[in-house]
Chain A
Amino acid sequence: MTDSTFLDSTELVLNMGPQHPSTHGVLRVILKLDGEKVLGTDCIIGYLHRGVEKIAENRTYAQFNPYVDRMDYVAAVSNGLGYCLAIEKLLNVEAPPRAQCIRVILTELNRIASHLLWLGTHALDIGAITPVFYCLREREEALKIFEKYCGARLTTHAFRIGGLLYETYDGFEQEIRDFCKMFIPKVDEYEELLTNNRIWVGRLKDVGILSADECKEFGVTGPVLRASGVKWDLRKAQPYSGYEKYDFEIPTRVNGDTYDRYIVRMEEMRQSVRIMQQAVESIPEGPIMGKVGKVIKPPVGEAYVSIEAPKGELGYYAVSDGSTQPYRVRVRPPSFVNLQALDRMIRGGLIADVVAVIGTLDIVLGEIDR
């Protein structure tokens, strides 16, 4: 120990993760600390790398469909929708209106399930233990609907290229209506627990600020972008799967701190319920599968489709060489791009805020490492 270190702080390099529970998976963050202050971070990813994009090259188009569920496993239905839309664009077919409507209902339900898991774990990281029980209780109801619809709760494999495989079960519409009716008071309940709570506000206000310009530079999308005041939602900007038919708002806030991102996500859940309520009243009759052959063999070409997943812009880029297997599938995962902003958000902050900032980015490592 040298003389100068007494009372003088030294820089400390600290490993956070990959087993740290609040990194939401296997993210490893190397923190450079000066006492409590964070001087810099370095993210190490890849602990959950499974080579999903390479797997795609050795599977047929239909066979790759279940694998996309395993990227963002919290929002598997959104991933399935993105992939199916990309291959449908390659094939130049469109899902029938009934299929599109059911797809919208299920993806919005999945958005709610994803945000509920985010809220529960985020609150748990901050130190509020109660919300996680309530959130998982309501998420269970959503997962039960998935299980009844397609037979799996998490890795759903709900959609097929060209439409849907499963017809809705008896009482599907009523269950969605009941869920919407039950869920709105529950969101108010979470807000009652957290929004005005002084510990919650004190931990989140002015933490991890990201300005609108910085968001655009980093390519950050989703609720993180909207909390910085940019009104950008792909459901409105480039509607897919019939989103232009539904009336909903894009919640935005201006400060771009962690508290605002919380408010935006809470409001998004309410808007999702609104979309579901409109969609469930207008499910058209008709077929659920488009004109897609048994063997999917798209013409030579490429297609990029991006959708608004719960975490941001989720893009699928597929290249076809005319065979039954894709030449290349590239995924643009929202969490991977949003994670870049982590360093900017916590540099200069306190070490306790690192957990709050990782939580607010709502990352899923399955999607980052792929």
Chain B
Amino acid sequence: MIELLKKVFLVDLFQGLYVTFRNQNPKYIYTEQYPAERPKVAERYRGAPRLNINPDNGETLCIACNLCALACPENLIVVTSERNEATKRKELTTFTYDTSRCMFCGLCEDACPVDALELTQDFEMASYTREGQIWDRQALEEGPRPTQYKC
């Protein structure tokens, strides 16, 4: 009898609707207003690569050891270097990083012995051309400069 009454008065549906209305409270809004309100990504976020420079003298930290290129599963890092005759040390000449093939696994970052290569919290890496996705040394040191929108 009770079962029948429950069926007639659509108790099950109203139970569900009650849940829906309970969640209508505006303080439960989760929508992120993205371009205006930028998301805060985690500290360990693996985003755009950056080649760190020494803040004191502006020289690169990279020692051109090629370990990141060897660690990369996609072989997208190309490091070239030449030996400085005066100091007998390898010096970095070019460093290219193809972000279009990168899967942001972080293996290059792990391999770097001097913390020169780092995956940063920048996540906006769109470009109008495919060539724009291939970052050279200068682009890696500066990092992406996305447009900042205000509402």
Which of A137, A152, A197 interacts with B16 by CB under 8 Å?
A: A197
Number of interface residues of B (CB under 8 A): 26
With both chains docked as a complex, state the minimum distance between the C-beta of B101 and any C-beta of chain A, in angstroms.
13
In the complex, which residues 40-97 of chain B have their Cβ closer than 8 Å to any Cβ of chain A? Answer: 41-46, 71-73
**Closest B-chain residue to A160, C-beta based?**
B110
- The answer on a CB contact under 8 Å between B42 and A151 is yes
- The answer on a CB contact under 8 Å between A147 and B107 is no
Q: How large is the interface on A (under 10, 10 to 19, 20 to 34, 35 or more residues)?
A: 20 to 34
Q: How far is the CA of A130 from the CA of B45 in the complex (A)?
A: 31
Q: How far is the CA of A64 from the CA of B12 in the complex (A)?
A: 50
Give the residues in chain B near A213, CB-CB below 8 Å. none
- The answer on a CB contact under 8 Å between B16 and A64 is no
- The answer on a CB contact under 8 Å between A194 and B44 is no
B1 within 8 A of A: no
Which of B19, B71, B106 interacts with A151 by CB under 8 Å?
A: B106
- The answer on a CB contact under 8 Å between B16 and A193 is yes
Q: How far is the CA of A147 from the CA of B121 in the complex (A)?
A: 11
Q: How far is the CA of A134 from the CA of B30 in the complex (A)?
A: 10
- The answer on a CB contact under 8 Å between A197 and B13 is yes
In the complex, which residues 50-72 of chain A have their Cβ closer than 8 Å to any Cβ of chain B? Answer: 59, 62-67, 70
Q: How far is the CA of A33 from the CA of B34 in the complex (A)?
A: 46
A196-B45 contact in complex given A63-B107, A67-B73, C-beta closer than 8 Å = no
- The answer on a CB contact under 8 Å between B16 and A169 is no
Give the residues in chain B near A198, CB-CB below 8 Å. 7, 12-13
B117 within 8 A of A: no
A148 within 8 A of B: yes
Give the residues in chain B near A147, CB-CB below 8 Å. 41-42, 44-45
Give the residues in chain B near A65, CB-CB below 8 Å. 105
With both chains docked as a complex, state the minimum distance between the C-beta of A52 and any C-beta of chain B, in angstroms.
12
Q: How far is the CA of A343 from the CA of B73 in the complex (A)?
A: 39
**Closest B-chain residue to A148, C-beta based?**
B42
Q: How far is the CA of A62 from the CA of B12 in the complex (A)?
A: 52
Give the residues in chain A near B12, CB-CB below 8 Å. 196-198
Q: How far is the CA of A345 from the CA of B132 in the complex (A)?
A: 50
With both chains docked as a complex, state the minimum distance between the C-beta of B5 and any C-beta of chain A, in angstroms.
14
Which of B15, B23, B41 interacts with A134 by CB under 8 Å?
A: B23
B20 within 8 A of A: yes
Give the residues in chain B near A155, CB-CB below 8 Å. 103-105
A166-B44 contact in complex given A63-B73, A134-B23, A157-B106, C-beta closer than 8 Å = yes
Q: How far is the CA of A151 from the CA of B23 in the complex (A)?
A: 30
Q: How far is the CA of A169 from the CA of B19 in the complex (A)?
A: 35
8 tightest Cβ-Cβ pairs between the two chains A and B: A66-B105, A151-B44, A63-B73, A151-B46, A148-B42, A196-B12, A147-B42, A193-B16
Interface positions of A (Cβ within 8 A of B): 59, 62-67, 70, 130, 134, 137, 140, 144, 147-152, 155, 157, 165-166, 169, 189, 192-194, 196-198
Known A64-B73, A66-B105, A169-B44; 5 more pairs at CB < 8 Å: A62-B71, A147-B44, A147-B45, A151-B45, A198-B7
Q: Can you pick out 25 interface pairs between chain A and chain B where the beta carbons lie within 8 Å of each other?
A: A59-B73, A62-B71, A62-B107, A63-B72, A64-B73, A65-B105, A66-B103, A130-B16, A147-B42, A147-B44, A147-B45, A148-B44, A149-B44, A150-B44, A151-B45, A151-B46, A152-B45, A155-B104, A155-B105, A166-B44, A189-B19, A192-B16, A193-B19, A196-B15, A198-B7
